[in-house]
Amino acid sequence: QKPAVVVTLTGAAGQIGYATLFRIASGAMLGANTRIRLNLLEIPQALGALEGTAMELTDCSFDLLDGVNIFSDPRRAFEGCDVALLVGAKPRSKGMERADLLEANGAIFSEQGRALNEGASSDVRVTVVGNPANTNALITASHAPDIPLERFTALTRLDHNRAVAQLAKATGVHPRDIEGVAIWGNHSASQFPSLEHATIAGRAALEVLAEKNLGEQWLSKEFIPRVANRGAEIIQVRGGSSVGSAANAALEHVNLWNTSNSVKGPQITSMAVPSTGEYGVEEGLICSFPVTCGGGEYRVQEGLKLSEAGRRRFEKSVEELRQEKAAVESLGLL
């Protein structure tokens, strides 16, 4: 029998951590035939709560769960790590400047990058969820020079799922009939959720929308801002940030990327990955693109033509990524 896959989850006592762990242990992330060992990382103040979560995981007697270990030392948490989910991050507190936020997160992700570099297994795959996710992924990667750059990704699957849901709602179809939606750029309000190559039951989504009199106006005034600001909308309505949907998206991201027989079958998803020059995005930025993936690999879908408006929206988001990179560079975090 194959040895258990070591999954390291940071921020494990947080909200998304709690919503993710039980599903990981039940096989929703790596499939029903993959045994798992969980390494959970938290800050010292949260170890008590985390101990309680570990007890609950034990109480589930999951078939696939070979063990749970909790740590506050990243070097130990990432030892032998095959799949890393970096969820723990410093939230922006009142009065905190943007540079302070980048600096606080820079310290966390550079230390974790070094720990991955030292101890992770040679086939490690890393997914960053903690915000600012793209730039945190860049910081992590830059401190792990021995791990191939393409192993570092950031989560935009939640934005992707939100875009699919909004398209489904507007056209009165089920999300399962929708393909080819993509998030381009940064996981932030500047992102470009694109329907330009989306299809609904095989028909161009823009055509279906046009029949309902939903055109450029609807895209720019309703669809794009709705998707890009959905996190804020959830906070307003729910009184707290997205948790279940974020956990679900993180599981899907890892599942689609790392299993050859992913739960949802082959499909185009959105993933923030290190650019190798695709669509004119310079190397060194971790940018969301449409990708196909499976078996631990992904490929950016190339050759798609964006409209002029789409191109402009994408470029604006890429510019924000450049600025974030310049800011962390000037703080000496890369």
Binding-site positions read 11-17, 92, 98, 105, 112, 129-131, 162
Positions 297 through 316 that interact with ligand NAX (CB under 6 A)? none
- Residue 67 and residue 4 in contact, taking contact as beta carbons nearer than 8 Å: yes
Positions 28 through 57 that interact with ligand NAX (CB under 6 A)? 41-43, 46
Single residue of 121, 190, 241, 292 touching ligand NAX by CB under 6 A: 241
Single residue of 5, 8, 9, 14 touching ligand NAX by CB under 6 A: 14
Contacts of 305 (CB under 8 A, 6+ apart): none
Annotated binding residues for substrate, as ranges? 92, 98, 131, 162
Report the distance separating Cα 108 and Cα 128, nearest Å: 12
Report the distance separating Cα 325 and Cα 331, nearest Å: 10
- Amino acid letter for position 67: G
Instruction: Determine if 91 is a binding residue for ligand NAX (CB under 6 A).
Output: yes
Single residue of 242, 269, 275, 317 touching ligand NAX by CB under 6 A: 242
- Stretch (H or E) spanning 71: strand 65-71
Instruction: Determine if 15 is a binding residue for ligand NAX (CB under 6 A).
Output: yes
Q: Which is nearer to ligand NAX, 186 or 275 (CB)?
A: 186
Instruction: Determine if 89 is a binding residue for ligand NAX (CB under 6 A).
Output: yes
- Tell me the closest approach of the beta carbon of residue 112 to ligand NAX, in angstroms: 7
Positions 171 through 210 that interact with ligand NAX (CB under 6 A)? 187
Tokens of 80: 């032998």
Task: With CA atoms as reference, report the closest residue to 8 among 74, 65, 56, 107.
Answer: 74
- Amino acid letter for position 89: A
Q: What is the DSSP-derived secondary structure letter of residue 276?
A: S
Catalytic annotation on 187?
Answer: yes
Report the distance separating Cα 147 and Cα 326, nearest Å: 23
Single residue of 246, 251, 306, 328 touching ligand NAX by CB under 6 A: 246
Tokens of 81: 């790590």
Instruction: Determine if 131 is a binding residue for ligand NAX (CB under 6 A).
Output: yes
Q: Which is nearer to ligand NAX, 171 or 245 (CB)?
A: 245
